[in-house]
Amino acid sequence: MKIKMRTIVIDCQDAHRASDFYAALLGWGKTVIEPDWVLMRDPNGGTGLSFQSEPDYVPPVWPEEPGLQQKMLHIDFLVDDLETAVRHAIHCGATKAPQQYLPDVTVLFDPDGHPFCLFTDANHLWEATLG
């Protein structure tokens, strides 16, 4: 038996707005566009993202608080220059979380309130990987 993760689906208020943000952030094109769903594939062959509009979507609260909407997941993005990547994400429409915990990790929120992290890894060999 073989299993491969192909796509992570993110519920959001507006699939088109969310996919516009991640297309700008990552430089990816949109593969399939439907009224309430958008698919994007990593041009280097990695796992894709899709966005599904949910009429009752409630943004998560981060850091988590009892009794409020919890996040279901968050995405970590490895970057080579944290300050430049944070500026780029904010330019694309992200907001920086008011609370930060680690010096080499910056937590931001996408336009639908999903937290995501940009981080550096001095041991990562960029030339040895695709993307």
Dump pLDDT digits (tens) for 28-54. 999 999 999 999 999 998 899 999 999
Pairing state of beta strands 48-53 and 37-40?
antiparallel
Classify residue 108 by burial, with Cβ atoms within 10 Å: 0-12, 13-18, 19+: buried
Q: Is the pTM of this model over 0.85?
A: yes
Report the pLDDT averaged over residues 49-70. Answer: 96
The secondary structure of residue 70, as a DSSP letter, is: P
Whether the predicted pLDDT of 130 surpasses 90? no
Question: Is residue 18 within a helix (H) or strand (E), and if so which, with residue range?
Answer: helix 15-26
3-state SS assignment for residue 127: helix
Given this model, what pLDDT does residue 94 score? Answer: 98
The secondary structure of residue 69, as a DSSP letter, is: P
Beta bridge partners of 26: none
Whether the predicted pLDDT of 129 surpasses 90? no
Whether the predicted pLDDT of 22 surpasses 80? yes
User: Domain 7-54+68-128 has what CATH class?
Assistant: alpha beta
**Per-domain boundaries in the chain:** 7-54+68-128
Whether the predicted pLDDT of 110 surpasses 80? yes
